[in-house]
Structure formats: structure tokens, C-alpha cells
Structure 1
Amino acid sequence: MHDIAYIRANPQAFDAALARRGADPVADRIIALDAKKREASTKVQQAQSRRNDASKAIGQAMGQGDKDKAEALKAEVAEIKASMPQWEDAASAAGSELDDLLATLPNLPAEDVPDGKDEADNVEVHQWGKKRAFDFEPKEHADLGPALGMDFETGAKLSGARFTFLRGDMARLHRALAQFMLDTQTRKNGYTECNPPVLVNDDAMYGTDKLPKFAEDSFRTTDDRWLIPTSEVSLTASVAGEILPDLTQPIRLTAHTLCFRSEAGAAGRDTRGFIRQHQFEKVEMVSICRPEDSAAEHERMTECAEQLLQTLDLPYRRVLLCTGDMGFGARKTYDLEVWLPGQAAWREISSCSNTGDFQARRMNARYRPEGEKKTAFVHTLNGSGLAVGRTLVAVMENYQNADGSVTVPDALTPYMGGVDRLEAVS
């Protein structure tokens, strides 16, 4: 959500920032709706005040025996009561139209975000790691997986396309990755582990900018709850409506959860393999902090995700997303893309975003700076630390052997009960 006061004071700058994201100018319309709402609200307040004054005056007139004045005042009160619904409806209608409009507008990009139309205009920040030189033709995970316990056929039989059934050590490696990620984020990086609901209400989805824009990409239950597309929703919305004490230290939360996406906007993309599933698991990082701390917190969060890839010795690159490729609620985003030798391509494995106060305004999350009476909106950040399934894919492709087995990275062997290699399931 956007700051109306800022839009009124800087309409041209607001439209210029939206234009960087490919949106049409709307500042004049916003200002007009806001003026209409405020005018109608003022009329209601004035009518209420006059009605109260007239009601008191009726009693006084009656006490003084002035029946004519009392009757005139009664007529005035009746007229005010009759006219008030008109102004109340006008204020409500203008407010609803304004809220609906604001809810469709993306966040404004940070100044250092590059302009661009799509992923081709993203900017590589740096690379880490050395791509492995194979003495055989590396396979894609979808070709390696079936022999090792990645069962696409049973997943499809049970649930349809984009579902997978993991078996044996493949399932164990998937679980080991999640535990490794959680342990790193909690024991080394200072995040508090949480176990939040994966079913949430409209307010949680709206507050974290998933509604109304991404309704089609999400699953909804018959009792009007939503299956979370990421635990960013549950973790961030946990502070909705709160006034937090002075955030001298950011609140850092992490969770390993199931996530669900209908992928309505991704028809035909990554239909083969384990990259883009309707049901998947992710270890999420969320930070709630003061505005002046969010830029540094964004860098720190991204480094926490990078640390995992470095420990697993998976080559990756950090990419700064351009305005055309950035998520709806983000003001700045770094993607981490891991190298997949089977595909001979970089693929996203983590996305870390600073949303500024965009989500905080939607869910009314504030804090009270030390020594001040007024409150201010917090800044919220979120990032994958990491996507578990995609990390499994990266391990499979980077640690594959000529005989079709996959070596378990050293960092994961403590979680594997001594298993150091995935071999064909008999």
C-alpha cells in the first residue's frame, strides 16, 4: 500500500516511479478520490457535530418553554439525519474505490534498481564457486531421479501434474537439506525458528500483497482459507496490527513449511522434473526492522542464503532484478541462481526482497521509536533460505557420478545417518 500523503505532495515523482514498473500514471485519480473521500467525511463530521449541538439545544429550549424553537431544532435534526446517509455513502464509496485502486499498484522501486522489461535486463552482481568439470555428459535431475527414488509417475497418479513422490534416501536427503538450512539460520544467523499455520485468512494474504493480484496463483479451500504460497505470509502477518517496541534489533524469523502454488501464470514452464511443483517445501527468512536498517538487513539476509550455497559448494550467482522482473510487493530484489550442469543453465534458488513499508501499510504493522510518542511503519523483508526442492535438484546435478549415483555433500552427511551416496533403488 502506498502513502497517500506522499502521493499528494509528490504526484509527478509517484507516477514517474510507477512508470519504471510499466504502470500508467494514476496520481491525479488517487488525489481526486482522496479529496472526494475527505470532503464527504468532513461533511459527515460537520453534520454529526451540528446534530449533537442541536439536540442539546432542544433540551434547553424545552426547559425555557420555547416550544417553537424546540420544534424548529427538531426539524433541523431530522433534516440532518436524513442527509447524513448520502455523505456517509459517498465517503464509503470513494474510500472503497481508492483502496481498490491502491491495492492493484506495485511497490515503487528503489533508486538503485536497474530499469528493464524482463529477466534479460537483470544485472549480475557477482558469481561464487567453480563449475565442476565432468568427464562424462552430465544428466538433468529428471533423468537421474527416477532410479534414485524421485518418483514422478506415482506423484502424477495420486495428484496430477507437478506433484512428485520421493522415496528412500532421496526423501531423506530432501529432509536433511531442510534440517541443515534451519540449523544454519537459527544457530549461526540468529533467526528464530517458527512453526506457523499453512492455512491463512484473507487478511494475512492481503497484508503480504498476495491478494488481490495473485489469487489465481494460489489454492483456496472451501471454507475460504488460503494455502500459503510461502511462509513469508504467515511469518510476516504475525505482526499485523501490532505496535512493536523500538526495533533496535530486527525481528528475524525462519520456518520450514509446505508451500502451495497453482502456477496459473506459469503454464507450460518446467513441466518436466522437480523445479516447479504445486506442492513444495521452503525454508523462509523474514525480517521486521526499522526503516533506516532495512537496506543493511537486505544485504545480510541475502548473505545468509549465500552462506548455505557456499557450505554445500554449489556454484551460484547473485543477480539484481530490474524493474520489469521484480515482484509486485518488492522495492528491491536479489535472486540467487544456482548452476545446474545437466541443464547447463543458471536457475533461481532463492529470492530475497526488501518491501520497505509496502506490506506494513497494508497490514498496519508499526513500531514506536524510543523516546517518541508517534509510531512509524516497520519495514519488512523476506527471502528463501533456501527452496528445498530446488536445492535437492542442484545437489543431484552437481554431485552426480558417471554410474548414475549422487554423492552426498559433506555438510549433509551428519543428517544422513552415515549415508554418503544415493544409489539406484532396487
Structure 2
Amino acid sequence: MASVYDSVEVPEDGAAIEVVDAESDDLEVPDNPIIPIIYGDGIGTDVGPAAQTVLQAAAEATGREINWMRVFAGESAREKYDENLPEDTINAMKEFKVSIKGPLTTPVGAGFRSLNVALRKRLDLYTNMRPTFHLDGVPSPVSRPDQMDMVTFRENTEDVYAGIEWEAGTEEVEQVREFIEQEMGYDETIHDGPVGIGIKPISEFGTKRLVRKAIDYALEHDRDSVTLVHKGNIMKFTEGTFRDWGYEVAEEYGEEVITEDTLWEERDGEPPEDAVVVNDRIADNMLQQILTRTPQYDVLAMPNLNGDYLSDACGAQIGGLGIAPGANIGDGLFLAEPVHGSAPKYAGQDKVNPTAMILSGRIMLEYMGWDDAADLIRNALEETITSKQVTYDIERQISGGTKLSTSDFAGKVADTIYDLA
């Protein structure tokens, strides 16, 4: 192996996934890949093994095998390494290319910085991709959850998540205030008294590579549109420029991609066959449109904070974050992770719904080119849920359901996979 690991074991069987073309995510995937997995904090110790059970069943049912490599971050890493994010974990994810993780706890207002953000930055996983679709049988707060079928592409390394800020009452924030007011001339912008100040960088480089991922995905998966979501009417030189740079990327594709303006000005609203339409929407309006005009949108591309809001709002329409999957993608690197948090009060109770992490693993299998295994997972989940054999969160919302533990639900889905194969 290329890397040396201090405190983790590399499976003796199995082989590493190789990258053929990083920019196009072209991989060479063996039938027995080594895949690092972080169970995570809180309920991660429940949903991590549950997801493994289902993913392994899907692999075996299609004549393959996953060789799991347990790596650590968060609480488990502090116990083993006395640090939150050891080099063993980073090295494993770099070497084996495709990984999956459970939720990691991030304190609010104090404590260590977000480990989720740290992983994305260390590995340059600049795209957060979240497909949002409804599973038959899952209760939803909207009347037509089946209309929700969007994929959000959220820039992962810039915007407010870059974390450039200064605390109220410190010498540093006063230096920033003085510079803004005296050197830059914005003397009526900041109220007197204690103030916290932050800045949000949005770059041409970060924007364009994110929008390319979104457009490439739309073309590859026969999606009709890519919508740039921004607050450029207010933040003109950050989010407004995000929109402008996004349209510049669209122009690179020639006839494959057409803007909404061109669509109406030159084609009377009739798009070319197999072309992707790129448009843009203001973020607050988009939060309304995903409810009122759900079928009109396919792929959303946006800065980090907008992506956080919009992807969670999309998840609400299909039943909540407990079933919402996600993945972080760079050039030739992939890390699947569920959208939900660590929910420490339920940790170790074997009761929570593992569907979000299972579906995150399904995205991972699709990324690896194992579409047949990925299809088995979705079909088995829907069959299990429609049979009303579900975890407590769904059972309490339906009549006539059978409540299963986390592990029993995963076992039922795995059995169904073998039956369907």
C-alpha cells in the first residue's frame, strides 16, 4: 500500500479504486474494493453498521464484495488517537478514493471547528451533492411528495463556511471595524458597541468548478435544467458574481447548454433536444418555488449557505432529514455522508432510521458505476417501507405498522435485496 497507517488495519483482501480521469470522475473499480468507513458520533454507531449490512448485501447480490476499512474521526478518534481528525483517516480516504461516513458532532458557538467542514477542506471535496426524491410509503408534510426529484450542488469550501470572522470585544474585530470605517469609508454601516464581523469569500475558481460539476451531472443524467440560486440582488459582488460566473461556465458547453434568456428570446421557450437549460433564481424566492413549482426544477447549483438551506428544505418535502442522503465530491475523491446530525440522545439505542446513510451509500455505489446494486437498494427500501416494517419515526406516523430496530430494519432491507436479485 502507498500509505502507512499507525492504528488502523487495511483489509488483506480487496484492492484500491483507481482514478483514470479525476476531472470527469472516471474510475477503475475492482469487484472487491477497499472502502474506508467512519461510523461517526452519536447515532453513527447505530446507522453506520446498519448501512454496511445493506451495502454489503447489494454488493454480494450483484457478484461483488466490499472490503470495509474502519477509520476514525470525532469521539472515536479522540479515544484512539487523542485528536479529532488523525492523519490515518485522511491518508486512507486519499488512497482508496471512495469513502463513507456517518454524522460527526459540531458544537454550537464553542469547542472545535466542524469536522465535516475540515474533512471537505483537507480533501478538497468542493461539491456537496444531495439528490432528493420521495420513497413510496414515507409520510410527508406535502400532498405530492412524488413531485420532488431535485439534486442540489452546494459549493463546499467557500462562502460563510470559510469561517473568516472576528469575535465581538476583541482587538482584532476593532482593527477590522477601523479599517472598514476609516480606510474603506463605510462609516455608517456598523452599529456602535460590541459587534462580530465576518466576511464571505466567493471566488471565480470555486464557483466555476462547482457549476461544471452540476452541468456535467445534468447532461450525464438527462436532466432538463440547472438553476443558479443566489442572493445577488443584495450581495452583488459575491453571490451576484456567482451567478455571472455560472453563466460563463454555461457558455463553455456550446449547443449542449442554453440559457433561459436565449430559450425565450430566440426559441420561444422550446429547448433543443437533449440540451440543458441554465437559469437563475433569488434564494428566498427559490425556497417558495420548490414548494409551489416543484416539478419545474431539476438540478440546483449554489454557494455554500444557500445550499445548506435549500437542500434541507427539499428534504422536508420527502419526509425529513432522516431519509436524506448526501455526498462530497472532489476531483477523483468521494465521501458519502447522510444529511442528518449525530442526535446524541438516541445514541446506542438501536432505534433510529438508517435510511439516510443507506441512501448515501447508494450514491456511492452509483459513483462507482454499480448502478445495478444501487437500484436494488432503492427497490428494497421501498418494498420494506411500503410493507410498513419501519423504524419508530415512521411507525408513529402510520397505522398498522410494525416497529423495527435500526439493525432489524437494515436486516430486513438486506433480505429483500437478496429476494429481488
Common topology (TM > 0.5): no
Larger Rg: 1
Larger relative contact order (C-alpha < 8 A, sep ≥ 6)?
A: 2
TM-score of the pair, normalised by structure 1:
0.23
